[in-house]
Structure 1
Amino acid sequence: MPDIQTQNQGHVTERPWLASYPPGMPAEIAPSTNNSIGEIFEQSCAKYAGRPAFTCMGKTLSFTQLEAESRKVAAWLQSTDLEKGDRVAVMMPNVLQNPVITFAILRAGFTVVNVNPLYTPRELEHQLNDAGAKAIFVLENFAHTVEQVAARTPLRHVVVTTMGDLLGLKGVIVNLVVRRIKKLVPAWSLPGHLSFKTVLASGSGKRLRDPGVKQSDVAFLQYTGGTTGVSKGATLTHANLLANMAQMGLWLETAFLRRQRPERLVFLCALPLYHIFALTVNGLMGLSTGGENILIPNPRDIPAFVKEIARYKINIFPGLNTLFNALMNNADFQKLDFSSLALTFGGGMAVQRPVAERWQQMTGCPIAEGYGLSETSPVATANRLDTEAFTGTIGMPLPSTDVEIRDDDGNTLSLGEIGEICIRGPQVMQGYWNRPDETTKAISSDGFFRTGDIGFMSPEGLIKIVDRKKDMILVSGFNVFPNEVEEMAMTMPGILECAAIGVPDSHSGEAVKLFVVRRDPALTEADVKAFCAQLLTNYKRPKFVEFRDELPKSNVGKILRKNLRS
């Protein structure tokens, strides 16, 4: 049995969870012998050369092909005026180009800035400027958004790709359907941009130099609201991601303690790779295990999604509560063969017990819930993957991870007492990009990240979330901050006052509700929603608008959101 205490930075942490670990699970991960994700990428591509790595819309890239295409893009990047460590943005859904480009940026010695392709121009402009991004790769469907802000950002290089660029002959048809039939590509103009195919052709004649990346170099700026305020970049180094890959690698193998491990794992990648959950659990874990990732560009189209996954024997399914729920309500999904499904991993938002129980009944596979944040690369805790039942908790800390429940003064609470969940480990970010003030608020002097989530730890070391410290709203796994919604809504001339809260929603877990005091008596719910749609990406927009004569306030005039919630 491992020692249930650890000495770290002068602070002694009890580790009751170690007694609940699966057989053979070490308390600590071994230090990585690799300097970078790029090194692991090249090792995996050599080791698993002929195996399928990523499949999308019926087209598969083997590890050999992934390495070759990625090498071309990386060599082209090094031929530009970019310098080591410069930030390069990636703005696209789950298409084959996404992993090719992401690994190319890392191999070339630059930093990846993942961008939600559904961002409004305002949101995109903030992120590109905050990150200081000098280049962007964007799917043509979203190029019109880049066009509106490019001149006000540090961008020097814009590369535009199409849905069909890596699909071979089928790509011609796909592009025709996307552009002409479905009309999913708004008109755009970006003078001086390069096409993705031009970049591949240019890079194929160039040599990729070793950029000398170290573990301490920044791999990703992963933007998040954090626990407060405006979107900030969580600074994730190669060491952070290498640690979480090692932690997840050890934990993943426990899914096969009770069943035979397939020679080759097949992951379903329905969550977007620009989100930290899919980036690590799908992209990086698929890479390191030699697994195949089935990329789903649009998981909202449930009938097409089900038709696609019916073609594969999926072993590992990372997902959100809302996705599990939507799939189970599809008649064709109910008829699928789930015999190959070894692990369903729930994260991003709380998994509801009724959903978990129905999922297990339908698929024969329990949902093992985990927990993490952009700031923790992301996985910090997880249930045992050999579990036979849904626990309703977020599980226990992974190896080399300490979790403490603390009060508002930073004192460690006893088991069973409710307080803020605080995390320390090698996967915890270095801080927020260019925001030392926010970093100091978020990370304590003894290295614990304050998550803003409220919970308690059981005697077995299992952690249960009971509430959130801040007013953050969680919509389908994405953070929405009331301040941002309110600030945008208040720019509407017809609004006198407003307040945003999260309300339960059967589809997305929570949805945004906006309480409004009118300045213009003729203002309607449709007016408010249409205005917000211009300034906020889809998941941040108010789904409900309620008009009030006045809003509840404290004695100093602060609007009391908690009163609106109750």
Structure 2
Amino acid sequence: MIRVDDRLLDPKTLEAQGARALGDPASLAGASVAVCAPDAADWLGLFFALRAAGAGVLPVHPATPREAARRLALQAGCARLAFHGTSEALAPETARGGGVLLQMSSGTTGAPKCIARGWDEIERELASYVTAFPDTNDMTPVVACPTTHSYGLICGLLAGLKRGRTPVLIDPSNPKALIRALREAERPVLYASPAVLHTLAQLLPAGETLNAAMTSGTLLPEAWFARIRARSRRLFQQYGCSEAGVIAVNPELESPEFMGRPLPHLSVAAGTGPETPAEIVVTAGGRRIETRDLGWMTPEGMLGFAARLDDTINVSGLNVYPQEVEDVVMTLPAVTDAVAFRLADRFAGERVGLVFSAREAVPPRDVLDWCRKALAGHQLPAQVAQLDAVPRQANGKVSRREIAAAFAKGELLIREEAR
């Protein structure tokens, strides 16, 4: 069973409803369909029906406008767009076959691209995930992230069903409703973005803790990690990529850089230590997947994460990892969020740029003075700007490439008092 808000729904009933809405889902077995539905039950019905028919599915976030959904569908090679109860035949330049889950990569390290993974491959991932990570077998998954994203769909919903639990799907935009759902669930484990977990850590009444929470999608800033860990009885972390799915899971997160041990169906190679990181390379089903992430393996087999390879800033031949700068800035009182990014520099080649948000106006010189206490000269930001809010994607990730471009064009809303 699946609980959507206050509705208890049977997956088989949802599948039958989705099949009726599609008319003849079997006719779509050799094609792919983009699905954008405002109601989670409608989306899941179409998803289950298309999967059962052997068709391909491109999940589209429900808030996506029709024209944007249509562009995504054409880019992914979908033959049909199911949008808010309507159906439209498409003529993509290159049609995508059925039997796959289609996902658009986040675009945080480059232009978004379409990733296709077969249903058999996802079943192998699910079996490996559930076997290697049994800690939540007796917990109720509370999924406070979109099931149109693989984190919510595969790890929260499908893994929960495979464990024999009843996943609870809830909109994370209402923290009070989310807290109420967590209180009502039996031994809940919360699947949410780092930003949602951080918000809950600040809103929970004194003395109240989360039973268990999973974080994924981005490396937790040290300040956020400390707050979330203090308000969670158990804190898990997982790491993955669109091409491979979940790569590693940490069942007891004590330091944010440790992603966990790789799942048994994968082979993972990385650097030998935090001082010698190398690109994380995954072998899955004979395929070699280059993640464009820097990391290392401990002698005990734990995967550590250093930075996105494309995010590393090279200052006069010295590497700067953005997270190191951000963690220092976020220990400054009043600062709530920070993002370091690459700036072009005619002398050093590259320098560090920084945008941050805070509860009050913080002069850039105060930020620099604070950084000088903990960072080397090549790590110091060359330009600093305070924003009303740091732009983050729905899954909590930031695109440093997009922030750098917007900063260079003067498109970011810089807080007046901090100019």
**TM-score between the two structures when normalised by the length of structure 1:** 0.52
The root-mean-square deviation of aligned C-alpha atoms, in Å, is 3.5
Deviations along 1:537-563, one digit per CA (max 9) or x if unpaired, are xxxxx55599xxxxxxxxxxxxxxxxx
Contact 2:18 2:42 in 1 (8 A): no
SS at match of 1:329: helix
Name the structure, 1 or 2, with higher relative contact order (CA <8 Å, separation 6+).
1
Alignment match, 1:311:
184
**Is 1:360–2:252 an aligned residue pair?**
no
CA contact (8 A) 2:215 2:236 kept: yes
Q: Does the 8 Å CA contact 1:226/1:375 hold for their aligned counterparts?
A: no
Which residue of 267, 285, 296 corresponds with 1:402? 267
* 1:515 has 2:407 as partner: yes
How far 1:504 sits from its partner (Å)? Answer: 5.5
Q: What fraction of aligned residue pairs are identical, expressed as a percent?
A: 20
Aligned counterparts of 2:227 and 2:109: Cα–Cα separation in 1: 35
Residue 309 of structure 2 is matched in structure 1 by: 469
Match of 1:242 in 2: 123
Counterpart Cα distance in 2 of 1:294 and 1:121: 28
State the 1:232 CA deviation.
1.9
In structure 2, distance between residues paired with 1:419 and 1:312: 41
Whole-angstrom CA distance in 2 between matches of 1:323 and 1:241: 26
Counterpart of 2:3 in structure 1 is: 55
Aligned to 1:358, the other structure's residue is in SS state: helix
Distance 1:326 1:344 in 2: 13
Instruction: Within 5 Å, give how 1:436-475 maps onto structure 2.
Output: 447-471=287-311
Q: Distance in 1 between matches of 2:260 and 2:7?
A: 37
2:147 corresponds to 1:278: no
2:240 aligns with 372
Distance 1:284 1:97, change over 3 A: same
**What is the CA deviation profile of residues 78-136 of structure 1, one whole-angstrom value per residue up to 9, with x for unaligned ones?**
62794312112221367222322211111122111111233356642321112233333
Contact 2:55–2:98 under 8 Å retained in 1:
no
Change (3 A) 1:223 1:279: same
Opposite residue 226 of structure 2, the aligned amino acid is: E
- Residue by residue, what CA displacement relative to the aligned partner does 1:296-337 show, whole Å, maximum 9, x if unpaired? 13x1222333233333234322222211111112145x5656
Contact 2:194-2:220 within 8 A present in 1 as well: yes
Contact 2:35 2:58 in 1 (8 A): yes
Q: Tell whether 2:114 aligns with 1:233.
A: yes
CA contact 1:77–1:108 (8 Å) conserved in 2: no
Report 1:7-26 matches (<5 A): none
Which residue number corresponds to residue 321 of structure 1? 194
404, 416, 420: which one aligns with 2:279:
420
**2:49 matches 1:101:** no
Equivalent AA in structure 1 for residue 143 of structure 2: C
Counterpart in 1 of 2:33?
88
* Distance in 2 of aligned mates of 1:325 and 1:94: 26
- Gap runs ≥5 in structure 1: 1-52, 156-215, 406-412, 427-445, 475-481, 483-500, 518-524, 529-541, 547-566
Matches within 5 A, 1:486-505: 503=355
User: What aligned pairs does 1:151-162 form with structure 2 within 5 A after superposition?
Assistant: 153-154=90-91
Match of 1:392 in 2: 257
Q: 1:58 to 1:450 in 2, by over 3 A?
A: same
Residue of structure 1 in register with 2:219 after alignment: 350
Structure-2 separation of matches of 1:293 and 1:83: 28
Does the residue aligned with 2:156 lie in a helix, a strand or coil? helix
Structure 1 position 68, deviation (Å): 2.4
Q: Report the alpha carbon displacement of residue 471 of structure 1 after superposing the two structures with TM.
A: 4.6
Q: Distance in 2 between matches of 1:243 and 1:56?
A: 26
Secondary structure, counterpart of 2:173 in structure 1? coil
Does the 8 A contact of 1:221 with 1:236 survive in 2? yes
Aligned pair in 2 of structure 1 residues 503, 92: CA closer, same or farther (>3 Å)? farther
Secondary structure of 1:310's aligned partner: helix
Bigger Rg, structure 1 or 2: 1
AA aligned to 1:355 is W
Q: Distance in 1 between matches of 2:292 and 2:258?
A: 17
Equivalent in the alignment of 2:385: none
Alignment deviations for residues 139-196 of structure 1 (CA, whole Å, 9 cap, x no partner): 47xx8xx9xxx69x449xxxxxxxxxxxxxxxxxxxxxxxxxxxxxxxxxxxxxxxxx
- Pair 1:504–1:371, CA change in 2 (3 A): farther
User: What CA deviation, in whole Å up to 9, does each residue of 1:340-371 have, x standing for no partner?
Assistant: x2x42211111233333333332322x22110
Distance in 2, matches of 1:335 and 1:470, equals 41
- Equivalent position SS for 2:133: helix
Cα deviation, residue 217, structure 1: 6.0
Name the residue aligned to 1:288.
Answer: 162
Distance in 1 between residues matched to 2:414 and 2:61, nearest whole Å: 23
Alpha-carbon distance change, 389 to 105 in structure 1, aligned in 2, over 3 angstroms: same
Letter in 1 for 2:100: A
Which residues in structure 2 correspond to 1:256-271 (within 5 Å)? 262=138, 265-271=139-145
1:258-289 Cα deviation digits (max 9, x unpaired): xxx63xx4110101001111111112112211
**Aligned partner of residue 287 in structure 2, secondary structure:** coil
How many aligned positions are there?
Answer: 335
Letter in 1 for 2:310: K
Describe the shift of the 1:244–1:274 C-alpha distance in structure 2 as closer, same or farther (beyond 3 A).
same
AA matched with 2:4: C
Q: Where in structure 2 are there 5+ consecutive unaligned residues?
A: 313-321, 324-340, 342-352, 359-389
Q: Give the TM-score normalised by the residue count of structure 2.
A: 0.69
In structure 2, how many angstroms separate the alpha carbons of the residues matched to 1:227 and 1:233?
Answer: 14
Q: 2:191 aligns to what SS in structure 1?
A: strand
Look up the match of 2:346. none
The change in CA–CA distance for 1:315 and 1:328 in structure 2 (over 3 A counts) is same
Contact persistence 2:51–2:99 (CA under 8 A): no
Residue 381 (structure 1) aligns with: 248
Shift of 1:421: 0.8
Does the aligned pair in 2 maintain the 1:321–1:352 contact within 8 Å? no
In 1: Cα distance, 2:80 partner to 2:233 partner:
46
- CA deviation map 1:502-541 (0-9, x unaligned): 8556874647351345xxxxxxx7xx5xxxxxxxxxxxxx
Provide the rounded CA distance (Å) in 2 between the counterparts of 1:80 and 1:107.
9
Q: 2:101 is matched by which residue type in structure 1?
A: F
Q: Secondary structure at the match of 1:452?
A: strand
Alignment-mate amino acid for residue 101 of structure 1 = L
Write 1 or 2 for the structure with the bigger share of strand. 2
**1:128 equivalent among 57, 62, 73:** 73
